[in-house]
Amino acid sequence: MKNRQYKSRIRVALIVPSSNTVMENDLHDALPKTEYTVHTDRMYLTETTREQEIKMIEEFAPAAANDLGTLKPDVLVFGCTSAGSLFGLEYDERVCRQLGLLAGCPSIGVVSSVATALDLQEWRRVAVLTPYNEDLTQAVATAVTGGSRRLVCAYGMNITDNEALATPTPADIVDFAKKVLSGQRFDGLFVSCTNFRALEARSELEDTFGVPVVTSNSAVIDALLLLRS
């Protein structure tokens, strides 16, 4: 996408679960307003479980991509980490490719963006934190590790109400990390979920553990900023 000719401002078509209250705000705060505009459509989701996320992708995501296609976006972001990870990295890439075709533009997935961010960090030992239940926590951890990256541990808060994923404060996230990661050795920490206030907790997590931290939203923001490089 680096050779693509962009408008004066890059139009980002963002698709998020309907109950997500964090991701679009993180993108609005982080992306230079003179260079990017963010336009959001929503996929109905209230319960963060495998069954409901599959339904979200199959029934609601295509309509959202079609809607956003009318604004002639430069790039589409599929803004759900756990849904993209359900069947591994290739699944996220396939879903995003199909949604991009519907919107008429290239696409970016959260899981794929995280994998790229971890590749750049060259971590060998990775710890993963999520707000999810055990099933989705393991799905995300499996999707972003493997090959040269070894999963050290993966812990979730076991929240299944999607709106409630945004309830833990940055301080709560740091406290949870201290509790579950005590005594673990890892080169870097990935904190998953676009509806989790992990980006706000990132600096304190890095200070606490002395390692780099990647979050779902930080990985997408970095991928979008690269479009201008």
Chain centre distance of CA 184? 24
Cβ contact 166:135 at 8 Å? no
pTM for the predicted model, two decimal places: 0.93
Cβ contact 16:42 at 8 Å? yes
Cα 207 to Cα 60, 115, 162: the distances in Å are 40, 23, 29
Task: Give the whole-angstrom CA distance, residue 227 versus residue 166.
Answer: 28
Task: Give the whole-angstrom CA distance, residue 56 versus residue 28.
Answer: 24
- 81-101 per-position pLDDT tens digit: 888 888 777 888 899 999 999
Which domains, ranges and CATH numbers included, belong to the chain? Answer: 10-111+218-228 (3.40.50.12500), 113-216 (3.40.50.1860)
Structural element, H or E, at residue 54:
helix 50-55
Q: And the tokens for 222?
A: 């970095």
- Structure confidence at residue 7 (pLDDT): 61
Buried b (16+ CB within 10 A) or exposed e, 17-33: bebbebbbebbeebbee
pLDDT averaged per 10 residues, the chain (length 229): 66 97 97 96 94 93 97 96 80 91 96 92 93 94 87 97 96 98 95 97 98 97 92
- Structure confidence at residue 5 (pLDDT): 61
Cβ contact 72:104 at 8 Å? yes
- Structure confidence at residue 146 (pLDDT): 78
- Structure confidence at residue 4 (pLDDT): 60
